Amino acid sequence: MNYIETEIPGVWIIEPKVFNDARGYFMEAFKQSEFEQHIGKVNFIQDNESCSSKGVLRGLHYQLAPYSQSKLVRVITGRVLDVAVDLRAGSPTFGKYVSVELSAENKRQFFIPQGFAHGFHVLSDEAIFTYKVDNPYMPSHEKGLRFDDPAIGVDWGITDINAVNLSEKDTKAPLFSEAEYNFTFK
C-alpha cells in the first residue's frame, strides 16, 4: 500500500495495491503491521457501513473525548467527497480541513485520527461507505458542526444547495465558533 500524509499531519490517504486480471481484482484492504509501521498503533474495535443516495451529506460529526474516534474509511460502491476538520486546540492546522475523493474505482482509504470532525458528500447515484473505528458510538458524546460554516469553508463541490440531503441533526449543528470540543494537539 502507498501511504500519503496529507497537508494536515496525522491524516492519511492510503492507496492499496490492486492486482487485476480477467477474473476481476484482488487487494489487501487492511494489513495491521503495515498500517502500524506508517501511522502507528490504532486499536480498531468495530466496522460500520452505510448506504446513501446522491446528494446525501453526512457530517460534520465527532465524539468528545474520551470517546473520540479514529476512523479508517473507504467506499466500496460509488463516489464520495470525504472531509476531515482539525478540532485539536493548539494544532497549527486547527480549524482547517482536508478532503479527498473516495470511490469504488480508486479504492483509496482515508485515515482520520481522534480530534477531527468527519463528513462526506455522496457524488454518485448511490454510495456504500465502510469504516473502522477505535471507540464505540456514544450518543451522549456525539457532536457536530455545520457543513457550510464559512469559518471552515469546506468546498463540497455543491452547485445546488437545494439538492443537498441532510439529516435533521445536521441541519441543526452549530457553527465552529459555537461548537463544543475537548481535544488538544499533542
Active site residues: 61, 131
Helix (H) or strand (E) holding 98: strand 97-103
Supply angle C-alpha 44, 70, 11, rounded to 5. 125
CA separation for the pair 137, 131 (Å, rounded): 13
| 154 residue type, one letter | V
- The count of C-alpha atoms lying within 13 angstroms of the C-alpha of 16, restricted to the half-sphere facing its C-beta, is 22
Supply angle C-alpha 54, 158, 168, rounded to 5. 65
